[in-house]
Structure 1
């Protein structure tokens, strides 16, 4: 099966994750400043939850890809790798 080239204008998953994480960090900093109205805080919180869920999903997909690379025959039994100290 041939891989297709990324569609121009579509953000690669890693860049999309980084952008979402950056936006989430900015929202948290803005909310922590305490200078937002209640409505602004609620809207920012709602946006933050969406960003968090998007980031979590991206991380889960990345973990699955790593597991498939470690053991393509049985990804559920793949052992997580431990960094060398």
Structure 2
């Protein structure tokens, strides 16, 4: 079965509400769709833009988690 475009993709405005796991799942869906080659150029560019925003969001969440781990580890000393 070929990947299909979900009915609602995240916008930059609503990325903040996504958990890391949700963002990664949506990113994987975009990658699958792009790798299938089923989308045209415009849709592929739109997917790439959304994917870049999802990656940025995931990196920010990972940075927050890393900083919290650092604070917790510092408190153990």
The structure that has the greater radius of gyration is: 1
Greater share of helix: 2
RMSD over equivalenced CA pairs, Å: 1.8
**TM-score when normalising by structure 1:** 0.66
> Which has the higher relative contact order, 1 or 2, with Cα contacts under 8 A spaced 6 or more apart?
2
**TM-score when normalising by structure 2:** 0.73
- Structure 1 runs (4+) greater than 3 angstroms displaced: none
Corresponding residue pairs, total: 60
Structure 2 stretches lacking a partner, 5+ long:
1-16
Structure 1 stretches lacking a partner, 5+ long:
1-12, 73-85
